[in-house]
Structure 1
Amino acid sequence: MLPGTKNLSRLLQLAHKYGPCSPLKGRKSKIPSLHQILIDDQTRVNSIHSKISNQQYSPVADSIVKLPANDGGFLGTTNFLVKIGLGKPGQNFTVEFDTGSSLTWIQCQPCGANQCYTQQDPYFNSSASSTYSNTPCSSNACSQLNSAGYAQSSCITNCIYHVYYGDGSSSQRYFATDTLTLSSSDVFPNFEFGCGENSQGTFGSYKLNSSTDGLLGFGRGQISMVSQTTQKYGGLFSYCLPSTTNSTGFLAFGSQVGNSSSNAQYTPLLIDSNNSSYYYLNMTGISVRGKKLSISETVFKTSGTIIDSGTVITRLAPTPYLGLRSAFRQAMSKYSAAASPDSLFDTCYNLSGYSKVELPTIVLHFGGGAEWNVDQSGIVFGGNSTPFCLAFAGNRDATQLAILGNTQQQTFEVVYDIVREKLGFGAGACS
């Protein structure tokens, strides 16, 4: 039970995809290697960078801006799962949730041989639902989908979505509506989603048999889960990502839960008119061991920063990363350096012989004076048979977008208040 939780009907359990609390069956045989996780993570980051590389970063804080649907097609390594119901009567599905995507989709019957990947649950049977309806090509919803790059332009009768992902994978078929159920009291008729009958690609080499049934989009587009439930939840949701695969977190709607309410700090959410599906933040600095690094705020503004639940390792512009790396290495000088297990990392240590390790504190500074004191679990990445590495990486150049990844978000309740255009974070929120 989560302390301070008042309304469990608006709260879903959030589990790591490969942990013992995962709702997936047979997960142990499908756990990817560290190398594979990082390959998929870099694929996602490359896709995000590629999407915006030719567009100017111009975020504005404007709570009345209507956000168009945008292409959130970068599944990459979304690792956290929730369970939902779809249809009437409801059919249950296990889906990955992603703040970097707006379109929700699941695999639907008929999924023929070589057209869909194997999943744990039966494919969605739209014929068994009394409230299922295909979206007509002539509808406003299909026009919106088409303008966002999700729909095929050759639409004749029923609206056809087609979404591509960063590794070359794709999902397509009918853009439809049906009843979405989160709990007995949280039911949403006419929920817009993709009913996929053709899912191509591997979603990473191990993901072909990942068994998840689809994707729950929490981006900022008008077709996202957030936008479609605004009338009930007021554009407010939060989550806590667990720090280990053996523990669980939560995904909550409409109110803040857990112990973090009293210590939450807030920073403005910004909008990039060219990429309105992402959640932009104003990152202003970094401190290591209580000392702020000498980095101009202009450096952070040049790259821009988003927060993303699907990116694992936080990416920084070269100057902030090199400053962080230098200060971290100095603080860790008494420990033995180790060879990196992957090219993404360049600062690793063999800590197997130590009963206690003193990691330096790392604080990320954001607009409005908010300070994100990264949990110890979010400072280094690795363990077991691999070295521990600094859980940050540098982008190739100063204009590439910085991304606050899910490793640094662990154990915090991260609160997205869309209507008030602010993001909050409070420590010690998971069970």
Structure 2
Amino acid sequence: MSVMKNFLNVILILCVCLNWCFTEGVAEKKESGKVDSYTFQVSSLFPSSSSCVLSSKASNTKSSLRVVHMHGACSHLSSNKDASLDHEEILRHDQARVESIRSKLSKNNADGVSMTKSTKLPAKSGITLGSGNYIVTIGIGTPKHDISLAFDTGSDLTWTQCKPCLGSCYSQKEPIFNPSSSSSYHNVSCSSPVCKNGTTCLDSNCVYGIVYGDNSFTRGFFAKERFTLTNSDVLDNVYFGCGEYNQGLFFRTAGILGLGRGKLSLPSQTATTYNNIFSYCLPSSASNTGHLTFGSAGIVSKSVKFTPVYSFRSSPHYGIKIVGISVGDKELEITPASFSTNGAIIDSGTVITRLPTKVYAELRTVFKEKMSRYKATSGRGIFDTCYDFTGLDTMRIPKIAFSLGGGTVVELDKIGMVLYPFTRSQVCLAFAGDDDHIPAIFGNVQQKTMEIVYDVAGGRLGFAPNGCS
């Protein structure tokens, strides 16, 4: 009997070990039952790029489109040249994005602009606007001309490159839109009420111009056109910028899909159709897909927790209130003044979350204490807290959670939301400290795999786990 009991104990131990080793993320609890760390496979930091994994939630939605990562296995835009883009370039462009935000807010000029139905669009990650952004493919004009646009919660006006490119156009993958071939295209007249706030005129037509903080720019005609989101969702008379003179860090995308708070953003223009609600889930890796959804009927998660969203000065950005941050079982010493000077925003276009210097310094200190068992290695770029996981199958990292206004807690419970991998021998904490002249920015690495709901009409922002699959 004792032999059989010992045998069963061995089997039980083996089962526990197997479950430990082969589970991507295992939550570990203290005696109180509170989760303060997760165990992950090191290999999950480097997902295979040989196959395309479609989001089940997006693909099973009636109005969804196939979505791809711009440089990933699913992409028709990827090329060998794209593959040569390295992390240093991605992070350099990310810093340009942050500088752009700083410039816009310091000038109180949102974009430098001179001038209960649901549909789902795919979110695909690329590199544009100075950072590792995400893109969607939509149709424009009649007949429909497909273009890939970076969607941006920090921009209002949607724009795309247009022929004849009288000044210059940067290189994009798809053919440039030709408005003369569309029967639904119309320039906006200078006499139109929407042609104001610094717009200029050319031959009685309204002309716009946008200059970003990194000196990228687009200029052209302010126009109206038909936008096709899906075969069943066609939007007429959408205001947009038809750019004939464009330069900057936009790479192979065709322009910007503006999702900001202003009157010219797509959610604002379609408020009667989609109730000024949209949501998205950013894919976990370049081999996975995500989605962008307009309308409340497309919200796929029932466990969304909301926090109030705040107007952020005169910018299109969505302000949030960070009231606390925890690392494992340690609450950081955040006071009401920690974020009061410049506040905080959530931004789809910034890659790495930026925190005030003192807040980041404490987060880094506590994280290092929790990770003391692992071999530290040299920093890289904006990262100063990096580890060497060579030879390890699993790792345990402390849970990081953000407490927001209204009692909402956002837990970063996926390894890719906390760590930024270069190689197995250099994996870094995916946060950075910044000077106190810009707001804190909740970046897109920390948003991955969550469903994030922008209920603009309701003045709230929602978070839910597992929004892509």
Shorter chain as normaliser: what TM range?
A: 0.7 to 0.9
Q: Does 2:392 correspond to 1:345?
A: no
Separation (CA, whole Å) in 1 of partners of 2:98 and 2:58:
36
Amino acid paired to 1:118:
S
Alignment map for 1:5-404 (pairs within 5 Å): 7-9=61-63, 11-26=64-79, 29-53=82-106, 70-71=110-111, 75-111=129-165, 115-144=168-197, 146=198, 151=199, 153=200, 155=202, 157-201=204-248, 203=249, 210-255=251-296, 257=298, 260-261=301-302, 263-275=303-315, 277-342=316-381, 344-374=382-412, 375-384=414-423, 387-397=426-436, 399-404=437-442
Task: Give the Cα separation in 2 of the matches to 1:4 and 1:41.
Answer: 27
Query: What do the CA deviations read for 1:72-125 (whole angstroms, capped 9, x no partner)?
Result: 77932152111100111211111111111111111111126x711122211111
TM-score, normalized by length of structure 2? 0.81
From the superposition, tell whether residues 380 and 3 of structure 1 become closer, same or farther in structure 2 (CA, over 3 Å). same
CA contact (8 A) 1:78 1:96 kept: no
Contact 2:281 2:449 in 1 (8 A): yes
Q: Deviations over 1:259-307 (max 9, x none)?
A: 632x2211001113422x1100011110011331122122122230100
Output the TM-score relative to the length of structure 1: 0.87
Assess if the C-alpha contact under 8 Å between 1:78 and 1:97 holds in 2.
Answer: no
CA pair 302-211 structure 1, distance change in 2 beyond 3 A: same
Map of 2:38 onto structure 1: none
In 2, are the aligned partners of 1:5 and 1:258 still within 8 Å (CA)? no
Matched letter for residue 268 of structure 1: P
AA at the equivalent of 2:397 = L
Q: Distance in 1 between matches of 2:396 and 2:254?
A: 41
**Partner AA of 1:191 in structure 2:** V
Q: Structure 2 vs 1, CA of residues 258 and 111 (structure 1 numbering), >3 Å: closer, same or farther?
A: same
Rounded Cα–Cα distance in structure 1 between residues aligned with 2:196 and 2:450: 38
Distance in 1 (alpha carbons) for counterparts of 2:403 and 2:290:
25
**CA 336–212 in structure 1, closer or farther in 2 if over 3 Å, else same:** same
**Percent of pairs with identical residues:** 43
What is the alpha-carbon distance in structure 2 between the residues aligned to residue 29 and residue 78 of structure 1? Answer: 13
- Residues 51 and 154 of structure 1, relative CA distance in 2, 3 Å threshold: same
Distance in structure 2 (CA, Å) of the matches to 1:394 and 1:234: 37
In structure 2, the CA distance between the partners of 1:12 and 1:226, relative to structure 1 (3 Å rule), is farther
> What amino acid is the match of 1:199?
N
Distance 2:402 2:314 in 1: 26
Task: Output the amino acid matched with 1:51.
Answer: K
2:122 aligned residue: none
Q: Which residue of the partner structure matches residue 61 of structure 1? A: none
CA distance in 2, matches of 1:83, 1:194: 17
Contact preservation (8 Å) 2:104, 2:213: no
Question: 1:157-215: CA deviations, max 9, x gaps?
Answer: 111111112221211111100101101221111111111111123x1xxx5xx321111
Q: CA deviation at 1:351?
A: 1.2
Structure 1 position 52, deviation (Å): 2.1
Tell me the distance in 2 between the aligned counterparts of 1:175 and 1:260.
Answer: 37
Structure-2 change in CA distance of 1:385 and 1:4 (3 Å): closer
Gaps of 5+ in 1: 56-68
Distance in 1 between residues matched to 2:138 and 2:425, nearest whole Å: 36
What are the Cα deviations for residues 17-64 of structure 1, in whole angstroms up to 9, with x where unaligned? 211122414265454211111111111111212322376xxxxxxxxx
Question: What runs of 5+ residues in structure 2 fail to find an aligned partner?
Answer: 1-54, 114-127
**Is the Cα contact below 8 Å between 1:270 and 1:280 reproduced in 2?**
yes
SS at match of 1:52: helix
State whether residues 317 and 394 of structure 1, in contact with CA within 8 Å, keep that contact through their aligned partners in structure 2.
yes
Match of 2:117 in 1: none
Distance in 2 between residues matched to 1:282 and 1:133, nearest whole Å: 41
Q: Is the 8 A contact 2:157 2:240 kept in 1?
A: yes
2:148 aligned partner, one-letter code: T
Larger radius of gyration: 2
Residues 390 and 116 of structure 1, relative CA distance in 2, 3 Å threshold:
same
What's the Cα RMSD here?
Answer: 2.2
